[in-house]
Amino acid sequence: MAGNRTFTMIKPDAVESKNIGNILQMITDAGFSIKAMKLTQLTVEQAKKFYEVHSERPFYMELVEYMTSGPIVAAILEKDNAMADFRTLIGATDPAEAAPNTIRAKYAESKAKNAVHGSDSDENAAIECAFHFSDAEIVG
């Protein structure tokens, strides 16, 4: 069985610091298959919609500004237990609190510029995959 899916973005800070390759290596080494992937730059409208759940938070506009500040890599990942295992691989939101050898411990700059996104539930994973990819863009 192929497993289930989660959604990730390599965020503008990690693209800027030339860590796309290092992060994708960690993802595939951890057993995830990439089912869809693209380099893109979010519009303000897209970022606001994607982070709508955070719209009441004080950092919302900072988050939208940051996420639209440069290119990101969006991808759909597949593995057994994909959502939870990917959250383990990326580590805590704040890199200062992220476990050693997690993506954020290695590559994130700060709580805001934290290198990668990972869906926080299977329900949100499905919504986020569909937000960024059509069925025709997903392999297998």
**Binding-site member from 6, 8, 19, 114 for ligand CMP (CB under 6 A):** 114
**Binding-site member from 20, 30, 34, 63 for ligand CMP (CB under 6 A):** 63
Q: Report CA-CA distances (Å) from 14 to 27, 44, 48.
A: 14, 19, 20
**Binding-site member from 24, 112, 126, 138 for ligand CMP (CB under 6 A):** 112
Q: How far apart are CA 82 and CA 85, in angstroms?
A: 5
Q: How far apart are CA 103 and CA 2, in angstroms?
A: 24
Distance of closest approach, residue 38 Cβ to ligand CMP, in angstroms:
18
Are the beta carbons of 77 and 6 closer than 8 angstroms?
yes
CB-count exposure of residue 21 (10 Å: 0-12, 13-18, 19+)? exposed
Q: What is the residue type of 33? A: S
Minimum CB distance to ligand CMP smaller for 63 or for 138? 63
**Binding-site member from 28, 55, 88, 93 for ligand CMP (CB under 6 A):** 93
Distance of closest approach, residue 79 Cβ to ligand CMP, in angstroms:
19
Summarize as ranges the residues that interact with ligand CMP (CB under 6 A): 54, 59, 62-63, 93, 111-112, 114, 117
Residues that are catalytic: 117
